[in-house]
Amino acid sequence: MSEGQVTPRQAVIALMKGAVPERADDIDSLWARYDPDVVLSDDSRHITLNACKERITVSAKTMDVFWLIGFSGWRAIECYSPHVVISAAGGGTVADLMRADEELGEVERAYKERIAAVQDLIAAPDATSSPWPPDLPRPSADREAMEDMQYKSAFDLSCLAAAFTYFHEFRHVMLDRDNERPGDLREEEMACDVWARSFLTAHLAQYALKNGHIYQDVLRKRSMGLAVAALILHEITPLWEQGGNCQYFSLADRLHALLDNTPLPANDHFWIFAASLLIGILRQRHIAINAPQSGARELALYLLAKP
C-alpha cells in the first residue's frame, strides 16, 4: 500500500465517525478494545460483508451496491411521495391516486430500472461487469464535488445506511469476542440491528444542542438513513429468504426493528420517505397496496405489516 493511501480499516472508522460524530470517542474506544482487522475481499457474484471476532470482511463491490441502492432509493420520493402526501391531506387512498396518475408509469419505470440495476450489480462477478445508471453519480468520498443538492442528500443517507451496516457487523465482533453470542443466530442478527440503530440515535439530543441543530431535524436525517438501510436489507436478501430462516428473522421483522417507534410526527418527511420506499418494495413484488386513506406514519406502519 502506497504512502498516504487510506486502509480499509481507516475508511470504515472514518465512515462511522462521519455518521455519528458525537460518538467519535466511543468509536475510538471500541476499536482500541476489540481491534478487528478489516479485510477487503475479492468481488464475487454476491455481496460480501460479514464479521467474526478477528475481522470484518467486505468487498469493494458491496459498497458500490450500497451506494447504488441509496441513490436509487432517494428517487422513491420523486416516484411515490406525491401520492403519500395527497392521501395524508385527505385526497384519497394511495392506490386510487396512483391509478389516476397518468405520469406515474414513466416515472416509476425509471425508478424500477435503477433498482433492477442494483440486482444486476449484485449478480455481477465484479463492479465493472455491470452497467451503471448514467443519471446517478459514481461512488465518491467527495461530497462537495457534487453540485446537485439532491445528490448531496442521497450521499448523506447512503453514508448513514452504510455506517449502520458496519455498526451491525462490529456488534458481531463484540459478541463473538466477549463470548456473548446468543444460541439462536436469528436473535444475534436482530440484536445487532437493534444495537446499531441505538448507536446511531442514542446521543442525538446532546449532539443537536451542542451544534445548534434542531433535534427533530437530526433525528429525521438519521432515521431516513435507517430507512435506506432497510431498503438495503430488502435488496440484498434473496426473495426465498425474506420470510426468514435459521439465521435470520423475517425481513418484515427486521424492518420493523429499524423503522417502528420513530418519535417523529405522523406526517413528518421521514414517514413520507419511509412510506415511499415501502410502496416501491411492494410494487416490485406486485403486491396490491390496499391501505386506507391515512397519514404517512399510519400508512408506513400498514405497509410494514404487509406479508
Q: What is the pLDDT of residue 27?
A: 98
Region at 38 (left for phi over 0; alpha for psi -120 to 50; beta for the rest): beta
Sorted by sequence, the CB contacts under 8 Å of residue 201 that are 6+ apart come out as: 219, 222, 223
Span 192-237, pLDDT tens digits: 999 999 999 999 999 999 999 999 999 999 999 999 999 998 888 8
Q: What is the pLDDT of residue 250?
A: 80
Q: pLDDT class for 20, splitting at 50, 70, 90? A: very high
At 38 the three-state DSSP class reads strand
Q: How far is CA 238 from CA 175, 242, 270, in A?
A: 26, 7, 26
Average pLDDT rounded to a whole number, residues 253-267: 88
Sorted by sequence, the CB contacts under 8 Å of residue 268 that are 6+ apart come out as: 216, 220, 296, 297
Which stretches of the chain are DSSP H helices? 8-19, 24-34, 60-74, 76-88, 94-100, 104-123, 149-177, 185-201, 204-211, 215-236, 251-259, 269-284, 296-304
Confidence check: pLDDT of 239 > 80: no
Q: How far is CA 57 from CA 14, 143, 164, 165, in A?
A: 17, 25, 15, 12
pTM: 0.93
Confidence check: pLDDT of 4 > 90: no
Q: Which three cell numbers stand for residue 192?
A: 445487532
Span 53-102, pLDDT tens digits: 999 999 999 999 999 999 888 888 889 999 999 999 999 999 999 999 99
Edge-first strand listing for the sheet containing 37-41: 37-41, 55-59, 49-51
Span 264-279, pLDDT tens digits: 999 999 999 999 999 9
| Domain locations in the chain as residue ranges | 8-304
Q: What is the pLDDT of residue 3?
A: 54
